Structure 1
Amino acid sequence: MLKYEIFINPKSLKTLENDIWTEEHLPAVLKIGNNRYKIGLNFRGNVIRKKKKKSYHITFEKPYLVNGAHEIHLNAEFDDISLSRNKLSLDFFNQIGVISPHSKHILLYINGFAKGIYLELESFDQYLLKKRNLPEGAIIYATNYFANFSLLTPENDLKTSLDEGYTIKYGEQKDLQRLEEFIAMLNTLNKSQFEKEIEKYLDVDQYLTWLSGVVCTQNFDGFIHNYAIYLNGESKLFEMTPWDYDGTWGRDLRGRPLDHDFVPISGYNTLTGRILDCSLFKRKYKEIMSSILEDHFNLEILTPIIEQQIHRLRPFIETDPYIKIKEDKFVQEIDFICNFIKKRSSYLKEKIGILS
Structure 2
Amino acid sequence: MDEMTSIPQYRLFIKPIDLKELRRDIWIDEPVPAQLTIDGRKLEIDLSYRGSHIRDFAKKSFQIAFYKPKKFKGSNQIHLNAEYKDPSLIRNKLSFDFFSEIGVLSPQTRHVFLTQNGKAEGVYLEIESVDENFLKRRDLPNGSIFYAVDGDANFSLMSDLDKETKKSLELGYERKYGRPEDDYYLQEFIFNINTIPQSDFEKEIPKYVDIEKYLRWIAGIIFTSNYDGFVHNYALYRNGDSALFEVIPWDYDATWGRDVNGKVMEANYVPIDGFNTLTARLLDVEQFRKRYLNLLEEIMNHQFTTEFMMPKVEQLLQLVRPHVLQDPYKKLNIEDFDKEYEAISNYIVERRMYLQRKLTNLE
**Into which bin does the TM-score normalised by the smaller protein fall?**
over 0.9
Match of 2:67 in 1: 61
Letter in 2 for 1:3: Q
Of the three residues 211, 223, 234, the one matched with 1:216 is 223
Match of 2:152 in 1: 146
Match of 2:282 in 1: 275
Deviation at 1:99, TM superposition (A): 0.7
CA contact (8 A) 2:146 2:176 kept: yes
Letter in 2 for 1:203: D
Matched, 1:137 2:143: yes
Match of 1:190 in 2: 197
Match of 2:355 in 1: 348
- Once the two structures are superposed, residues 61-96 of structure 1 have per-residue CA deviations (whole angstroms, 9 ceiling, x without a partner) of 111111111100000001111111100000100111
Letter in 2 for 1:44: R
Match of 2:20 in 1: 14
Unaligned runs of 5+ in 1: none
- Once the two structures are superposed, residues 89-115 of structure 1 have per-residue CA deviations (whole angstroms, 9 ceiling, x without a partner) of 001001111010011111101111111
Q: Secondary structure at the match of 2:216?
A: helix
Match of 2:3 in 1: none
1:174 and 1:295 mapped to 2: Cα distance? 42
Of the three residues 207, 210, 226, the one matched with 1:200 is 207
Matched, 1:107 2:113: yes
Match of 1:42 in 2: 48
Letter in 1 for 2:48: N
1:117 and 1:326 mapped to 2: Cα distance? 13
Deviation at 1:255, TM superposition (A): 0.7
Of the three residues 284, 295, 300, the one matched with 1:293 is 300
Deviation at 1:287, TM superposition (A): 1.2
CA contact (8 A) 1:311 1:331 kept: no
Of the three residues 156, 160, 165, the one matched with 2:167 is 160
TM-score, with length taken from structure 1: 0.98
CA contact (8 A) 2:324 2:331 kept: no
Q: Secondary structure at the match of 1:221?
A: coil
Structure 1 consecutive aligned stretches of length 4 or more whose deviation exceeds 2 Å: 324-329
2:221 and 2:42 mapped to 1: Cα distance? 38
Q: Secondary structure at the match of 1:23?
A: coil
Letter in 2 for 1:216: F
Letter in 2 for 1:18: R
Between stretches 280-289 and 190-199, larger displacement belongs to 190-199
Letter in 1 for 2:255: T
Alignment size in residue pairs: 356
Deviation at 1:348, TM superposition (A): 1.1
Match of 1:308 in 2: 315
TM-score, with length taken from structure 2: 0.96
1:176 and 1:92 mapped to 2: Cα distance? 30
CA contact (8 A) 1:73 1:121 kept: yes
Match of 1:70 in 2: 76
2:333 and 2:25 mapped to 1: Cα distance? 33
Unaligned runs of 5+ in 2: 1-6
Match of 2:86 in 1: 80
Q: Secondary structure at the match of 1:229?
A: strand
Deviation at 1:327, TM superposition (A): 2.5
1:173 and 1:354 mapped to 2: Cα distance? 43
Matched, 1:178 2:206: no
Between stretches 21-30 and 215-224, larger displacement belongs to 21-30
- Overall identity of the aligned pairs, in %: 47
Between stretches 25-34 and 119-128, larger displacement belongs to 25-34
Letter in 1 for 2:204: E
Deviation at 1:21, TM superposition (A): 1.8
1:326 and 1:238 mapped to 2: Cα distance? 42
Between stretches 333-342 and 178-187, larger displacement belongs to 178-187
Match of 1:4 in 2: 10
Letter in 2 for 1:158: T
Letter in 2 for 1:139: I
Match of 1:91 in 2: 97
1:232 and 1:335 mapped to 2: Cα distance? 40
CA contact (8 A) 1:185 1:194 kept: no
